[in-house]
Structure 1
Amino acid sequence: MKAYIDSRIDDFLSDLEALVNIDSSSDNLAGIEAVAQFLIHRLAAIGFSTRLDKLGRRGVPCLEARNGPEGEMVDVMFLGHMDTVFPTGEVEKRPFAADRDRATGPGVCDMKGGLLVALHVLEVLYHDGVLDQLSIGVCFNGDEEVGSGSSRAWIEAHARYSRRVFVFEPCRPGHRFVLQRKGGGGYTLNARGTSAHAGVEPEKGANAAVEIAHQTIAIQQFNDQAGGGASAHVTVIRGGEKTNIIPDEARASVDVRVVRNSDVAPVEAFFQSLPAHTHVPGVTLTVSGAVSRPPMEPDEGTLQLWHLFETRAAEMGLVIDHIATGGCSDGNFASALGVPTIDGMGLVGGNAHRHDEYVELGSVVPQIQLIASVCKTIAQEKK
Structure 2
Amino acid sequence: MKQYIETRHEKFITDLKTIINIDSSSDNKDGIEKVARFFEKRFTRIGFNTEVLFLGDQKVPCLYAEHLPSKKPFDIMFLGHLDTVFPTGEVEKRPFSIKGNRAFGPGVCDMKGGLLVVLHVLETLRHEVLLEQLSVCVAFNGDEETGSDASRDWIMAMAKKSRQTFVFEPCRPGYRFVLQRKGGGWFNIIAKGQQAHAGADPEKGINAVVELAHQIVKINKLNQNAVETSAQVTIVKGGDKVNIIPNKAQAWVDVRILKIEEKERIESFFKTLAEHPYFKGSKITIQGYINRPPMEPIEATHKLWELIRSTGERIGLSVEAISTGGCSDGNSTSAAGTPTIDGMGIVGANSHRADEYAELDSIDNMVLLVAQVCKAIGENS
Common fold by TM > 0.5: yes
Query: In the alignment, is residue 261 of structure 1 matched against residue 260 of structure 2?
Result: yes
Which deviations, in whole Å up to 9, do the C-alpha atoms of 1:165-211 show, x marking residues without a partner? 00000000000000010100000111111111111111111111111
Question: In 2 relative to 1, CA 213–71 (structure 1 residues): closer, same or farther, beyond 3 Å?
Answer: farther
Shift of 1:263: 1.6
Give the AA of the match of 2:343. G
Could you say which residue in structure 2 is the equivalent of 1:155?
A: 155
Which deviations, in whole Å up to 9, do the C-alpha atoms of 1:104-162 show, x marking residues without a partner? 11110100100000100000011111111101100000000111111111111111111
Question: In 2 relative to 1, CA 71–57 (structure 1 residues): closer, same or farther, beyond 3 Å?
Answer: farther
Give the AA of the match of 2:306. H
Give the AA of the match of 1:274. L
Shift of 1:99: 3.7
The farther-off stretch of 91-100 and 23-32 is 91-100
3-state secondary structure, aligned to 2:171: coil
Please show how residues 261-300 of structure 1 align to structure 2 within 5 Å: 261-300=260-299
3-state secondary structure, aligned to 2:288: strand
3-state secondary structure, aligned to 1:129: coil
Shift of 1:262: 1.5
Which deviations, in whole Å up to 9, do the C-alpha atoms of 1:201-224 show, x marking residues without a partner? 111111111111001111112215
Question: In 2 relative to 1, CA 13–316 (structure 1 residues): closer, same or farther, beyond 3 Å?
Answer: same
Counterparts of 1:279 and 1:366 in 2: how far apart (Å)? 58
3-state secondary structure, aligned to 1:223: coil
Could you say which residue in structure 2 is the equivalent of 1:379?
A: 378
Instruction: Check whether the contact 2:69–2:136 (CA below 8 A) recurs between aligned residues.
Output: no
Counterparts of 1:84 and 1:70 in 2: how far apart (Å)? 33
Give the AA of the match of 1:157. A
Counterparts of 1:374 and 1:261 in 2: how far apart (Å)? 30
Instruction: Check whether the contact 1:20–1:96 (CA below 8 A) recurs between aligned residues.
Output: yes
3-state secondary structure, aligned to 1:187: strand
Instruction: Check whether the contact 2:189–2:287 (CA below 8 A) recurs between aligned residues.
Output: yes
Counterparts of 2:226 and 2:309 in 1: how far apart (Å)? 32
Q: Give TM-score scaled by structure 2 length.
A: 0.98
Counterparts of 2:94 and 2:31 in 1: how far apart (Å)? 17
Please show how residues 35-74 of structure 1 align to structure 2 within 5 Å: 35-69=35-69, 72-74=72-74
Counterparts of 2:9 and 2:221 in 1: how far apart (Å)? 52
Shift of 1:64: 0.6
Root-mean-square deviation (Å): 1.1
Please show how residues 297-376 of structure 1 align to structure 2 within 5 Å: 297-376=296-375
Instruction: Check whether the contact 1:104–1:358 (CA below 8 A) recurs between aligned residues.
Output: yes
Counterparts of 1:124 and 1:283 in 2: how far apart (Å)? 64
The farther-off stretch of 239-248 and 45-54 is 239-248
Counterparts of 1:209 and 1:36 in 2: how far apart (Å)? 46
Question: In 2 relative to 1, CA 134–118 (structure 1 residues): closer, same or farther, beyond 3 Å?
Answer: same
In the alignment, structure 1 segments of 5+ residues that lack a partner are: none
Could you say which residue in structure 1 is the equivalent of 2:211?
A: 211
Give the AA of the match of 2:187. Y
Counterparts of 1:310 and 1:53 in 2: how far apart (Å)? 35
Give the AA of the match of 2:320. D
Q: Give TM-score scaled by structure 1 length.
A: 0.98
Counterparts of 2:226 and 2:280 in 1: how far apart (Å)? 32
Counterparts of 1:72 and 1:246 in 2: how far apart (Å)? 65
Residues paired across the two proteins, number: 381
Which deviations, in whole Å up to 9, do the C-alpha atoms of 1:56-87 show, x marking residues without a partner? 12111011100123665211000000000111
Which deviations, in whole Å up to 9, do the C-alpha atoms of 1:316-338 show, x marking residues without a partner? 01100011111000000001121
